[in-house]
């Protein structure tokens, strides 16, 4: 009987080395001078501050902010379509948008890729998306891990997890406690479904609707794959620009990333006691993809609200005096937004007006 090898068990170390050789350039292009070189190290090094006076942050009470997330069953659509270069953007967005809700500056990102077998071109596509997301989010891709697990994943299957660390001055932490009666709720447009509700979306499209990923949908003006694989929007530059512009004013009182649970559940998480959020249902145009899914699957409107972002990716609770100014800044930065509600005194909840 021949001697068994790792390759016999499903892990090809030569292919793994090929995979690893493709990744360093994708990391390097995202890295700021705050990343310290550590070739061959077991971890990544990142300086919280700069030595150079030109770039020094001069933190007084820095607070680290950390978050983690995945992409969920949107990966199944990517696998069906054979498109893997955008889900990495989703991975980055889902974590760093959460960090933004605390007012943080994203610093660095780590990824975890689990696969059924070594596939260097596939891994390169995935990490190219992660790298692109980090560039868009002004965040350094500091490192990651690739796990080959043939007994857990079928060939072609994979899963992703991401981890973001950011920083914010303690006195500038945004936690929702400043939200008060009279605040305006600005909804910032999503790019589509983002990365939530895909178990329902796939059931609607592929089972109830009988569609294939390459089907062209006249109602949407694009294919199923185009609509379902549009990457999650990253809001870093817009939010950081607004927070820096109003550095000496208390303008943005709360930020909510609209993910699983929809508008009401996510915004209610940051409401202080004694306040309620009143959202106006017709105050923004709902993107065509949501109308299509609702009709195709005969989904109750309340279920759509509970599962999907309905076209709102981020909600800012802002002082009414500055709401119009903030909205103009968002527009100048390329982000469409609408006043979609307001804060009133009352029981702590988010409701339709």
Q: Give ∠ CA 75-163-115 in degrees, rounded to 5.
A: 40
Q: In this prediction, what percent of the chain has a pLDDT beyond 90?
A: 85
Q: Which residues, including other chains, have CB under 8 Å from residue 277's CB and lie 6 or more apart?
A: 185, 264, 267, 268, 271, 317, 341, 342, 343, 349, 350, 351
82 and 53 together in one domain: yes
Please check whether residue 5 lies inside any domain of the structure.
no
The counts of H helices and E strands in the chain are 12, 14
Please check whether residue 51 lies inside any domain of the structure.
yes
67 and 156 together in one domain: yes
How far from each other are the two terminal CA atoms of the chain, in whole angstroms?
74
pTM for the structure as a whole: 0.95
Q: Which of 137, 172, 207 is the last residue of a domain?
A: 172
How many domains, in total, are found in the chain? 2
CATH number at residue 140: 3.30.1330.10
20 and 134 together in one domain: yes
CATH number at residue 249: 3.90.650.10
pLDDT digits (tens, 9 = 90+) for 302-334: 999 999 999 999 999 999 999 999 999 999 999
309 and 210 together in one domain: yes
294 and 345 together in one domain: yes
Q: Which of 172, 205, 224 is the last residue of a domain?
A: 172
Please check whether residue 6 lies inside any domain of the structure.
no
313 and 339 together in one domain: yes
261 and 152 together in one domain: no
158 and 268 together in one domain: no
118 and 48 together in one domain: yes
288 and 159 together in one domain: no
132 and 264 together in one domain: no
Full domain range(s) for residue 139: 13-172
Please check whether residue 295 lies inside any domain of the structure.
yes
Q: Give ∠ CA 72-73-74 in degrees, rounded to 5.
A: 90
Residue 46 contacts residue 35 (beta carbons within 8 Å): yes
37 and 155 together in one domain: yes
Please check whether residue 199 lies inside any domain of the structure.
yes
Q: Which of 144, 172, 200 is the last residue of a domain?
A: 172
b/e 255-265 (16+ beta carbons within 10 angstroms → b) = bbbbbbbbbbe
Please check whether residue 290 lies inside any domain of the structure.
yes
pLDDT in tens, the chain (353 residues): 789 988 888 888 888 898 888 988 999 999 988 999 888 788 999 999 887 777 788 899 999 999 999 999 999 999 999 999 999 999 999 999 999 999 999 999 999 999 999 999 999 999 999 999 999 999 999 999 999 999 999 888 999 999 999 999 999 999 999 999 999 999 999 999 999 999 999 999 999 999 999 999 999 999 999 999 999 999 999 999 999 999 878 899 999 999 999 999 999 999 999 999 999 999 999 999 999 999 999 999 999 999 999 999 999 999 999 999 999 999 999 999 999 999 999 999 999 99
């Amino acid at each position: 009987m021949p001697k068994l090898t790792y390759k016999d068990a499903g892990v090809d170390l030569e292919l793994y080395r090929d995979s690893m050789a493709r990744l360093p350039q994708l990391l390097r292009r995202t890295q700021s001078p705050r990343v310290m070189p550590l070739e061959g190290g077991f971890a990544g090094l990142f300086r919280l501050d700069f030595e150079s006076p030109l770039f020094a942050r001069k933190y007084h009470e820095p607070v680290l902010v950390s978050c983690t997330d995945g992409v969920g069953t949107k990966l199944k659509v990517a696998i069906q379509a054979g498109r893997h270069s955008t889900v990495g953007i989703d991975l980055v967005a889902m974590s760093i948008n959460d960090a933004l809700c605390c007012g943080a500056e994203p610093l660095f990102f780590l990824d975890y890729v689990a696969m059924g077998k070594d596939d260097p071109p596939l891994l390169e596509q995935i990490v190219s998306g992660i790298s692109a997301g980090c560039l868009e989010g002004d965040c350094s891709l500091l490192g990651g891990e690739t796990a080959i697990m043939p007994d857990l994943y079928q060939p072609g299957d994979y899963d992703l997890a991401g981890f973001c660390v950011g920083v914010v001055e303690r006195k500038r932490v945004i936690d929702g406690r400043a939200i008060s009666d009279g605040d305006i709720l600005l909804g910032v447009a999503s790019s589509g479904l983002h990365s939530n509700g895909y178990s329902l979306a796939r059931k609607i499209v592929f089972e109830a609707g009988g569609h294939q990923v390459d089907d062209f949908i006249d109602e949407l003006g694009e294919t199923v794959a185009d609509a379902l694989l549009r990457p999650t929007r990253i809001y870093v530059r817009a939010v950081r620009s607004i927070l820096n512009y109003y550095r000496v004013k208390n303008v943005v009182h709360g930020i909510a990333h609209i993910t699983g649970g929809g508008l009401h559940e996510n915004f209610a998480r940051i409401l202080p006691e004694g306040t309620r959020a009143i959202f106006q249902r017709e105050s923004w145009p709902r993107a065509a993809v949501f109308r299509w899914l609702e009709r195709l699957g005969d989904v109750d409107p309340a279920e759509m609200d509970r599962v999907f972002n309905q076209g709102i990716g981020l909600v800012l609770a802002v002082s009414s005096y500055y709401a119009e100014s903030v909205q103009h800044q968002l527009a100048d930065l390329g982000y469409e937004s609408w006043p979609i509600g307001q804060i009133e005194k009352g029981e702590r909840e988010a409701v339709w007006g």
